[in-house]
């Protein structure tokens, strides 16, 4: 089973599949410059929205804002208002009142995530350098998060750690893996909030290490140095404003041994 979804059609097929990512930023032009320099993104103006493009497919939106939650993941929903109402009824918090298209919620453990109703012809590029690769929820209460999203989205849950030293579940819909959930342990500082981590792909010919070096050149930070994992070579970085994200080269896979307790845990909030 692949842990990294790789089809733009996922958003069309499943409720709960990742369908979009966006970054609210206080300086839109500076953000455009940073991500162009990092990933080579080009941009399209679509109905007044600044949309990043990779290999002809839209991959993200950068939008001006006074502040926000950093990189924000959106999951596909058939009805944003119904999803918001259900989230509220099972212990979530509605952070942005739903309209006909989208809503923003926090799960009971504090993770902020969006839901978006997308049309049948919706495109979301998940292949190529700088395209969306994966996302996972980092929380201190894994069981509560699993229960909430299983009820909200109907996810199938599979524990891939031992549930103690490594508590990591993967969430699937109709057999297709879509997301992950990690319980934060001692590697995280006590004040690290629950957060979603969005991963972008590093082209194998460029590599994760080169992307990490480029982040520094562009004024960002490397919060977790590149490391090998069972899913690829990963680094955790922040952009010039402090917005955290991860980069993964899925071609650099190292099997997990019995002695391993899990890959290094990212803590972009630990200064």
What CATH number corresponds to the domain at position 221? 3.10.180.10
221-243 residue pLDDT tens: 999 999 998 899 999 999 999 99
- Asked if the structure places residue 201 within a domain, the reply is yes
User: Would you say residue 93 has pLDDT above 50?
Assistant: yes
Average pLDDT, the chain: 90
- Asked whether residue 145 falls in the same domain as residue 112, the answer is no
- Asked if the structure places residue 126 within a domain, the reply is no
The parent domain of residue 232 ranges over 132-249
pLDDT of residue 68: 77
Contacts of 200 (CB under 8 A, 6+ apart): 39, 130, 131, 132, 133, 245, 246, 247, 248
- Asked whether residue 230 falls in the same domain as residue 181, the answer is yes
User: Would you say residue 267 has pLDDT above 90?
Assistant: no
pTM (two decimals)? 0.90
- Asked if the structure places residue 162 within a domain, the reply is yes
- Asked whether residue 67 falls in the same domain as residue 37, the answer is yes
- Asked whether residue 34 falls in the same domain as residue 84, the answer is yes
**Domains: count for the chain:** 2
């Amino acid at each position: 089973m692949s842990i990294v979804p790789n089809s733009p059609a996922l958003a069309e097929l499943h409720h709960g599949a990742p369908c979009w990512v966006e970054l609210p930023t206080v300086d839109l032009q500076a953000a455009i410059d940073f991500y162009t320099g990092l990933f080579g993104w080009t941009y399209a103006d679509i109905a007044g929205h600044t949309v990043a493009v990779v290999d002809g497919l839209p991959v993200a939106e950068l939008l001006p804002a006074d502040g926000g939650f950093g990189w924000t993941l959106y999951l596909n929903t058939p009805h944003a208002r119904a999803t918001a109402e259900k989230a509220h009824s099972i212990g979530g918090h509605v952070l942005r009142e739903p309209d006909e298209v989208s809503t923003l919620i926090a799960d009971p453990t504090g993770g902020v995530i969006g839901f978006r109703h997308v049309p049948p012809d919706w495109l979301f590029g998940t292949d190529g350098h700088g395209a969306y690769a994966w996302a996972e929820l980092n929380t201190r209460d894994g069981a509560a998060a699993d229960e909430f999203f299983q009820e909200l989205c109907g996810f199938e849950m599979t524990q891939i750690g031992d549930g103690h030293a490594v508590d990591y579940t993967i969430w699937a819909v109709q057999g297709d893996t879509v997301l992950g959930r990690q319980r934060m342990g001692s590697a995280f500082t006590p004040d690290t909030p629950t957060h979603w981590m969005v991963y972008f792909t590093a082209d194998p010919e460029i590599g994760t290490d080169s992307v990490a070096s480029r982040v520094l050149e562009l004024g960002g930070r490397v919060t977790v140095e590149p490391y090998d994992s069972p899913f690829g070579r990963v680094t955790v970085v922040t952009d010039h404003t402090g917005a955290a994200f991860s980069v993964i080269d899925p071609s650099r896979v190292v099997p997990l041994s019995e002695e391993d307790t899990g890959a290094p845990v990212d803590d972009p909030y630990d200064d």
